[in-house]
Structure 1
């Protein structure tokens, strides 16, 4: 009979162990936005326009397309010293440790207890009238147990923790991409600010020369005081543009130094000497939506959060069922001088079923976990839509900026020619100064607009690379463990 009961218990435990884990197995829902055909297809906007090409092989180290050794050096330094990256790395290591804790839950558990004490028992508690003498007590034991994960609570917890590790990994990737983009952005901003300062200082020299010519024409009786005043006003307007440009250049230095984990005094001297921002050596490769969504770390992170939320439904559901374990212990408890003999020995073996009968609170936790998964799916869908919007917006802004730059270059060439001709005619006394002043003003505006457009074009390039998710991308989210 005892053998029959043991066999029946073994078969029952085996059957329970074969049962699947509680809660749904994770799979990307069919209704997820990422599964829509137009999301997986070609990006909306002007893919293939000048400055872009229809390719999916966006290099992981996209800044190498600039072929700028100083930029490479600055990015390498930032990846080593940036405080934000150290924080992201610590969060990743913490998530990995929590995952190991979750994986080690359940299964075998061993413990050893040993204590020695001197005590005195109350005489009255034993109905004695004389005090009892003190005595030495020793307690020791070894126990071992095995927790069965029949309902998948431990397994689902490990799945959730594993997905959390992947979320942290995606966050680390995003932090790296962001740091690289910020370093590139501040570096090109610094170069453009220096270039615009030089352009403005050159324009100021031209305006001061025009002012001198107007003064000489007045002194020679061929000009008017109004011409001199207008020339002075134009020169001062150009001079007024210098402080904001200086502030832009200094702000770029401050930001770049912070990204590198130092101060402006720590910046390489080549940064201060940069006057020409690096230029791309090839068009920006732009692929389809599927390639984009595989690259973007925020999309990967949102998908992994959905996987973790789905696993937590199983954790909450498994909590409705009992915890089952089997254990054995052996030890001794008694007077120190008798410790270990037959009178002090003890042992036990047998199964343990622990079950808190679920009430409304336990069922509510399951509903809360399900709602959390629904929220994670909605957040994932929104992240996919936002990533497409960001990329299409950045792509369109970049292409339109290129077109504006081409038009501004034509305007700059024409205004330079007109200013030169009017300056010569004025010096020859063949046209009034107002004509020359208008031509100079148009030339100044064209140069300023072209320089500003070039600076914004560089920033648009960085924004597009950031939106495309270049850098450290994986080929897609790893399957849940």
Structure 2
């Protein structure tokens, strides 16, 4: 028999086994275990709560589509530039990308389980029987011999019950979940950068206000000292003026420390060393104002824009597929194994046709008793699937609350701003009147001091409100899943 006829015979046997396997696949039907379907929640994001859409004269919430680069609404070129750098430099994003690569590699491993395995190997051994052993007593030769073997091994496990399909389905869902996880990191990090940047601008504005009030306090001190020297004022007025100046000066180091800390926080977000961004950020820029119109999209888009919702659904999909894998372990497993090669006692005989050997045939594995291990594993996967379903519902409900709270807070900050502007203007007018009366000698210094403090408090509150208003918009777009398409 020639080597060609040997290969032909092996292929014929293999073809019969493949036909047998296909027949089993047709009889087995579809994959075992439940199929994933879109979760059915009692939590329906159908419309925003009317309580959260509090319109005001200075704010209009509209249902137009959300821009992926929502931070451009602030019209701050430096913020826009930093957001562009963030995507390339942030280490958390790079770490999330590595997790995607890990999930993709796991998917590749599970997909390879469906492919036939082919390996080649060879062995050499020298052995001899004991002259006093049982084989020698039966007449077997006891002299030492060499034994050579070279051949191919092939194996292919049939996916009769869809186990491999379910494993691939689970791995693919995990890959999708890791991709949405990376998107979620991007949404959170881009919002964090905008929040830190706006806080920095707020602190810088407060620092500037404090310096202006320090200059006013210095001017007032000069005035009170002059009045005391001329016998018009009192030592009490001078001492009080000095104390006020010292109190204002004491605020500056703390504000400078907060400013430096925020600049370092931005540097860390961009993967830079401390103080790397100081030259770009030290110049005080006025806080941006809120836009007249705030686009929030349509409510039905929320579940498709929030990466955490999509990630949670993908994890539920993976958990559902794992049930199918656990159920498939209860059924028989059939694999086709084959060998083809040569072996001989002498090395030169390996090339001889008479040294050939081959084998091909199915291997059947049927689990009978494993101490309820398979049952417990199935129960565990079903519990995990139920937990994933609960987490999905919890994520959707949390998203709904976050959006509602962010809308309400944004509207409240805008309304508060209107009243704070009125309070600041009135306190400033009162301070001007008190200072003029003090210079004319018709009012004491206590009125000036009180009016000055009221102006400082009003300015600080107004600056905090402006900062919180911009931060509320950042929180709103984070809640809406802004920052990606």
Same fold (TM over 0.5): yes
Q: CA deviation at 1:444?
A: 1.3
The DSSP-based 3-state class of the residue aligned with 2:116 is: strand
Confirm or deny: 8 A CA contact 2:25 2:160 kept in the other structure: no
Confirm or deny: 8 A CA contact 1:52 1:286 kept in the other structure: no
Matches within 5 A, 1:86-125: 86-125=94-133
Q: Counterpart of 2:309? A: 299
Confirm or deny: 8 A CA contact 2:54 2:408 kept in the other structure: no
Q: Match for 1:202 among 208, 212, 222?
A: 212
Matched, 1:320 2:300: no
Matched, 1:54 2:66: no
C-alpha distance in 2, partners of 1:358/1:306?
A: 30
Q: CA deviation at 1:453?
A: 1.6
C-alpha distance in 1, partners of 2:181/2:160?
A: 34
Matches within 5 A, 1:26-105: 26-30=36-40, 32-34=41-43, 36=44, 39-43=45-49, 45-47=51-53, 49-50=55-56, 51-105=59-113
Q: Counterpart of 1:394? A: 406
Q: Counterpart of 1:366? A: 378
Matched, 1:167 2:177: yes
Matched, 1:348 2:359: yes
Matched, 1:139 2:145: no
Q: Match for 2:276 among 239, 260, 266?
A: 266
Q: CA deviation at 1:416?
A: 0.8
C-alpha distance in 2, partners of 1:72/1:57?
A: 19
Q: Do the aligned partners of residues 265 and 130 (structure 1) sit closer, same or farther apart at CA in structure 2, a change above 3 Å counting?
A: same
Q: Match for 1:384 among 377, 396, 406?
A: 396
Structure 1 residues 347-386: Cα deviation after superposition (integer angstroms, max 9, x where no partner) = 1122221122254111111111111110001111111111
C-alpha distance in 2, partners of 1:407/1:219?
A: 42
Q: Do the aligned partners of residues 48 and 358 (structure 1) sit closer, same or farther apart at CA in structure 2, a change above 3 Å counting?
A: farther
Q: Do the aligned partners of residues 124 and 33 (structure 1) sit closer, same or farther apart at CA in structure 2, a change above 3 Å counting?
A: farther
Confirm or deny: 8 A CA contact 2:53 2:411 kept in the other structure: no
Confirm or deny: 8 A CA contact 1:171 1:298 kept in the other structure: yes
The DSSP-based 3-state class of the residue aligned with 1:221 is: coil
Confirm or deny: 8 A CA contact 1:310 1:373 kept in the other structure: yes
Structure 1 residues 310-347: Cα deviation after superposition (integer angstroms, max 9, x where no partner) = 00000000011111122332112222232243553221
Q: CA deviation at 1:53?
A: 1.8
Q: Match for 2:238 among 225, 228, 231?
A: 228
Matched, 1:414 2:422: no
Q: CA deviation at 1:402?
A: 1.4
Confirm or deny: 8 A CA contact 2:47 2:299 kept in the other structure: yes
Q: CA deviation at 1:395?
A: 1.8
Q: CA deviation at 1:86?
A: 1.1
Confirm or deny: 8 A CA contact 2:136 2:142 kept in the other structure: no
Confirm or deny: 8 A CA contact 1:160 1:311 kept in the other structure: yes
Q: Do the aligned partners of residues 407 and 135 (structure 1) sit closer, same or farther apart at CA in structure 2, a change above 3 Å counting?
A: same
Which moved further from structure 2: 93-102 or 222-231?
Answer: 222-231
Q: Do the aligned partners of residues 25 and 253 (structure 1) sit closer, same or farther apart at CA in structure 2, a change above 3 Å counting?
A: same
C-alpha distance in 2, partners of 1:166/1:348?
A: 43
Which moved further from structure 2: 449-458 or 153-162?
Answer: 449-458
Q: Match for 1:187 among 197, 203, 223?
A: 197
C-alpha distance in 2, partners of 1:165/1:11?
A: 30
Confirm or deny: 8 A CA contact 1:151 1:321 kept in the other structure: yes
C-alpha distance in 1, partners of 2:177/2:105?
A: 14
The DSSP-based 3-state class of the residue aligned with 1:266 is: coil
Q: CA deviation at 1:458?
A: 2.2
Matched, 1:459 2:471: yes
C-alpha distance in 1, partners of 2:254/2:210?
A: 11
Structure 1 residues 405-426: Cα deviation after superposition (integer angstroms, max 9, x where no partner) = 1111111111111111111111
Confirm or deny: 8 A CA contact 1:111 1:144 kept in the other structure: yes
Matches within 5 A, 1:270-289: 270-289=280-299
Q: CA deviation at 1:435?
A: 1.9
Q: CA deviation at 1:119?
A: 4.5
Confirm or deny: 8 A CA contact 2:290 2:470 kept in the other structure: no
Q: Do the aligned partners of residues 281 and 403 (structure 1) sit closer, same or farther apart at CA in structure 2, a change above 3 Å counting?
A: closer
Structure 1 residues 241-288: Cα deviation after superposition (integer angstroms, max 9, x where no partner) = 212211210110111111111123321623111331334445321234
C-alpha distance in 2, partners of 1:268/1:219?
A: 45
RMSD, aligned CA: 2.5
C-alpha distance in 2, partners of 1:427/1:6?
A: 109
Q: Counterpart of 1:432? A: 444
Q: Counterpart of 1:476? A: none
Q: Do the aligned partners of residues 127 and 60 (structure 1) sit closer, same or farther apart at CA in structure 2, a change above 3 Å counting?
A: same
Q: CA deviation at 1:7?
A: 11
C-alpha distance in 2, partners of 1:202/1:375?
A: 57
Q: Which runs of 5+ in 1 are unaligned?
A: 474-481
How many equivalent pairs are there? 465
Q: Do the aligned partners of residues 7 and 106 (structure 1) sit closer, same or farther apart at CA in structure 2, a change above 3 Å counting?
A: closer
Q: Do the aligned partners of residues 225 and 353 (structure 1) sit closer, same or farther apart at CA in structure 2, a change above 3 Å counting?
A: same
TM-score between the two structures when normalised by the length of structure 1:
0.90
Matched, 1:127 2:136: yes
